[in-house]
Structure 1
Amino acid sequence: MSDAPAAPVTENGVPPAEVVEEAPGFKVFVGNLAYSTTDEGLKAFFAPVESDILSAQVIMRGTRSAGYGFVALKSAEAAQKAVDALNAKDLDERPIIVEIAKPAELKDQERKEKKARRRPGRRGAKAVPGEVTDAEANGEPVKADDVVPAEGDAEKPKKKKKKSTKKPKAEGEADAAPADGEAAKQPRKKRAPRPPRAAGEEPVGEPSQTVLFVANLGFNVDDAGLTALFTDAGIKVNSARIVRRRWGRPRKSKGYGFVDVGDEAEQKKAIEALEGKEVGGRPIAVKIAVNAQVEEEEKAEAEAAADKEATPEVTIVAS
């Protein structure tokens, strides 16, 4: 296990920039450096004043360049010459900022003035991750007392919940009527399941004198298609209805339906013409319906329609 001390980490999870030691001579600030630029590359960039260079240093944040550095020169004339010759020139494919580093007294004064006119709600010396603060730009460590907390950053007290002013209902008191436009929510009554009829067993009841039962229809046949099936065969049709499942949107066909042809003569004629006829690759069955069966299906259809009215469709809008 290593005994080396852990590297300090700032609040944003980024190691602090390396502190620049004051070097003798006249300092020049170099900004907008590429992350790949090294001390040697920075020194080589200052070739026009190579003989006057005392030191060249790229500031590091942890193991990565902070994007700026400083070059110390022997004289003010050499520093100004470097600024004139190198400012806005390209280094490692980036236009470089070269300017005279500000004296410590001037930096302190500017920092105080900036604090005085700082807008409420802004944090002081804290920079957005990846952003260079003024202190870092000048090679100084960030002090804790330079940080000015934003107004409203303090923890806000939680709002107290308002107590319900609803009075308890007196014993025997009737429930209040729902407000206008507010539907009273009542539990839906479940319909008792109908016992299934055994396969091949005929429905029990009185035969209808006008209605026919049509089975083995394709699931894509609708009321209009069922009507057309009979009228094309020359059968008079008063009404035709495909029986559909109670639930689902849309409600799917059960594969059978009822056709009212008006009288027994038309019933007989329809059976002779359509019994066993292939419709959509299926041999359909056409029989005289039983009144009890017709009434039961009509009741189920009415209940399904009532359920549809009680449960409005929900339209989903993409956000």
Structure 2
Amino acid sequence: MSEMSEEVRALKPVIEDRIYVGNVDYKATEEELKDLFKDLKVTEVEIPSKENTRGDKTFKRRLGFAFVQFETKEDADKAIADLNGQKFQRRNIFIKKAVPPPTEEEKKVKIEAYKAKKEEIQKAKELKKEANKKNDSTNAESTTKPKVPEGEKSKDTIFITNLDYKVNVKALNNTFKDLKPKWIHVPTRRFQNKKYPNGKFRRPLNKGIAFIKFPNEEVQKQAIEEFNGKEINGRELIIDIAVDSKVPTKEEQEAEADENVEDSNGN
């Protein structure tokens, strides 16, 4: 439709003694525009406007273009040659020969082309929205359903996933304090444990997981039953029995403790 509209426009003959003036200042008047062409024989100046209603008030708003009718083709040609691209009030205008008003058929073609373009844009937006929704669903699934590590199930330790990245050992200790955890390990992203220019440490973010060791298997199961699905910072904990092969070593626990001391000093 758009191509047809362009063809119709290209085939329309111009009006030799009439010009179209574009980018006209909205505050410009017919008299001011006529004065711009004072050295030429102007017979008519028209600045189209549109009537708008706001509440109980109705007002006209100029559309930013105009038509100027001359006595001769030569005057119209001279207006284009002398003033096209020149500044009029606050804007640089552009001038070309005017064409006859569109016929009803041309208006119909233009409207259909506009509708087709609008539908195309809307369809592209919907496809993009669906793609984003699919990506979000995939990311959520990979976050909430982590790969289960292989190994022997622990008799006293739980494995937490879907943990808010800002949760630290202290926060988890407060959450599980009634079950008296023996130790808590929250792996952090070490590259984020840096200093700000003012010398303070940036709080390290965790990796979204944690391990908590309890006195025995009975308390371990109690922790899973009571806290699986509990919300911390807007995210529901996903808790399962830890696998011994993935439980942190003594060295990792000591390193974790050092990081937490350093983080506390920074705050």
TM-score class, shorter-chain normalisation, is 0.3 to 0.5
Q: TM-score, normalised by structure 2?
A: 0.35
Higher strand residue share: 2
Larger RCO of the pair (alpha carbons < 8 Å, separation 6+) = 2
Bigger CA radius of gyration: 1
Higher helix residue share: 2
